[in-house]
């Protein structure tokens, strides 16, 4: 097999594997959301049950319940960050797939014209896109995190206005941080988006390749 055939074989294999990676990251985001949905439901159900029990038995469990919800919120923030990070991985792989497709279609194999305009732009999709289902899931998790904090604060202090303010504040703050983080990733290569800096191969003093 000559160098050209070897390169074509590599790109074909790499293209297929990257498609699998795209499916993996997309599925992982949905799996995180499904897991969080059950987690939030359990946390809220337990909190409401304990709150009603404390009223019936005249035990003051408000602070403990509120603290539990705040801890649940911290876990939710971690999972929210995981969704945002997986979006970065998804976009990086999707852009690479588009670049490989673009390179292949430039030769118009068998006269193929790509009349359907299948994706081939290596700078698409954007890291943040309001129309993406992944972005909507990110927003829903931020909403649920805000509800956890608001309900926890209300049970602890019984100030409904303050609870509503906390809900709105947490949701807005999470979304602003997440969206801004994704938008910053547009300023550079996919390597910089993942590793924080561009990586390139250099020759070391001993003649061996090193990654920097």
9 DSSP 8-state letter = H
Q: What is the mean pLDDT of residues 131-158?
A: 85
Instruction: Report residue 154 as tokens.
Output: 């209300």
User: Which residue is associated with the tokens 């976009």?
Assistant: 91
Integer Cα distance of 193 and 178 in angstroms: 14
Structural domain that includes position 127: 3-211
pLDDT band, residue 30 (cuts 50/70/90)? very high
Instruction: Write down the pLDDT at residue 212.
Output: 45
Other CB atoms within 10 Å distance of the CB of residue 188: 12
Cβ–Cβ under 8 Å, residues 18 and 96: yes
pLDDT band, residue 210 (cuts 50/70/90)? very low
pLDDT digits (tens, 9 = 90+) for 6-28: 777 888 888 888 889 999 999 99
Name the domain count of the chain. 1
pLDDT band, residue 193 (cuts 50/70/90)? confident
Mean residue pLDDT across the chain: 82
Cβ–Cβ under 8 Å, residues 137 and 83: yes
Give the containing element (helix H, strand E) for 202. Answer: strand 201-203
pLDDT digits (tens, 9 = 90+) for 70-106: 888 889 999 999 999 999 999 999 999 988 888 888 7
pLDDT band, residue 200 (cuts 50/70/90)? low
């Amino acid at each position: 097999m000559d160098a050209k055939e070897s390169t074509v074989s590599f790109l074909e294999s790499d293209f297929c594997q990257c498609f699998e990676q795209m499916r993996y990251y997309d599925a992982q985001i949905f799996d995180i959301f499904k897991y969080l949905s059950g987690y939030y439901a359990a946390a809220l159900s337990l909190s409401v049950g304990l709150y009603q029990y404390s009223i019936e038995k005249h035990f003051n469990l408000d602070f403990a319940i509120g603290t539990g919800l705040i801890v649940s919120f911290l876990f939710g923030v971690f999972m929210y960050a995981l969704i945002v990070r997986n979006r970065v991985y998804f976009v990086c792989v999707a852009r690479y797939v588009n670049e490989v497709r673009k390179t292949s279609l430039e030769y118009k194999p068998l006269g193929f014209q790509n009349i359907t305009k299948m994706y081939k732009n290596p700078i698409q999709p954007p890291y943040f896109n309001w129309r993406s289902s992944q972005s909507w899931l990110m927003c829903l998790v931020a909403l649920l995190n805000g509800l956890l904090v608001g309900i926890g604060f209300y049970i602890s202090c019984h100030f409904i206005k303050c609870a509503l303010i906390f809900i709105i504040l947490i949701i807005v703050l999470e979304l602003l941080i997440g969206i801004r983080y994704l938008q910053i990733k547009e300023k550079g290569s996919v390597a910089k988006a993942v590793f924080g800096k561009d990586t390139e191969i250099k020759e070391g003093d001993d003649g061996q390749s090193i990654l920097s």
